[in-house]
Amino acid sequence: MAEGKVPERKPDGWDGPREGYPKAQKHYADPENWKYPVHTPFHARAARRYFDQPENRTKYTEEEQAYIDWRIDQALRRYGVVEGRSLEDRVNPFDKDLEEMTLRDLLVFFLGEDRLKRALAIEEVTVDRSDGVLEGRVKEYPVRIDVADKRIAHTCPDWERRSSGGLFCKHVGAIFLKLSEEKAGLILRQLIPDREKWIFQLGESH
């Protein structure tokens, strides 16, 4: 259920989407005026900041303010913001939105540049299963990634050191490189903001 009331057209509203902004009104917390876009975590946080400024809020009636607040908060919750600060903010060293991060950016996040290079150089990678559970082998090392269960199981000395910090070894990186860019990106974008819930375990399965 929507809260408040959809704002009416305002004198300083926009007539349509500005260049580079979404073309559908549903992406705006104030849809009639094409203001407060919330289509990415970055924009939702910016919307919250701007709308918290009194000079912006007071352009709207209380009912309209309630609607915009509700729309912004809804977006922030959807993006996993916790206590006003997103998990993604905390773990993401890039000043970029997750959606704007390329697969390379995502892999650098988990691997670092050097390990990514080593992962790219590995040729012996097989993926045996890639439904909800990914199972594969990198050289002699098995890797199992269970997306629904939020679990990656693997064993190697580097994984032993890095996995507790939520980081990958080159073998786990190599498995992601073997997947389609779309699939790998999808999993990694889910993983970053949700990283605390994932279990990076030693061993081949659970």
Long-range CB pairs of 147-150, under 8 A, 24+ apart, other chains included: 147/187, 147/190, 149/206, 150/194, 150/197, 150/198, 150/199
Pick 169 or 184: Cβ nearer Zn ion? 169
Query: What does the alpha-carbon distance between residue 18 and residue 34 come to, in Å, rounded to a whole number?
Result: 8
Q: Does 176 bind Zn ion (CB under 5 A)?
A: no
How many Cα atoms occupy the beta-carbon half-sphere of 186 within 13 Å?
A: 8
Report the alpha-carbon angle 50-99-150, nearest 5: 115
Site size for Zn ion (CB under 5 A): 4
d(CA 64, CA 53): 15
* Residue 199 Cβ vs Zn ion, minimum distance, rounded to whole Å: 16
Q: Give yes or no for residue 169 binding Zn ion (CB under 5 A).
A: yes
DSSP SS3 for 91 = helix
Choose between 34 and 198: whose C-beta lies nearer to Zn ion. 198
Amino acid at 160: E
The window from 41-49, 90-98, 101-109, 167-175 that contacts Zn ion (CB under 5 A) reads: 167-175
Instruction: Give the shortest CB-166-to-Zn ion separation in angstroms.
Output: 15
In angstroms, give the least distance from the CB of 171 to Zn ion.
3
Strands 151-154 and 199-202: parallel
Amino acid at residue number 177: L
Please tell me whether residue 156 binds Zn ion under the rule CB under 5 A.
Answer: yes
Tell the smallest beta-carbon distance from residue 122 to Zn ion (Å).
Answer: 10
Contact call for residue 159 and Zn ion (CB under 5 A): yes
Q: Build a one-symbol-per-residue string for 61-80: x at contacts with Zn ion by CB under 5 A, - elsewhere.
A: --------------------
Q: Is there binding between residue 171 and Zn ion (CB under 5 A)?
A: yes
Query: What is the nearest approach in angstroms of Zn ion to the Cβ of residue 165?
Result: 14
Q: Which residues bind Zn ion (CB under 5 A)?
A: 156, 159, 169, 171
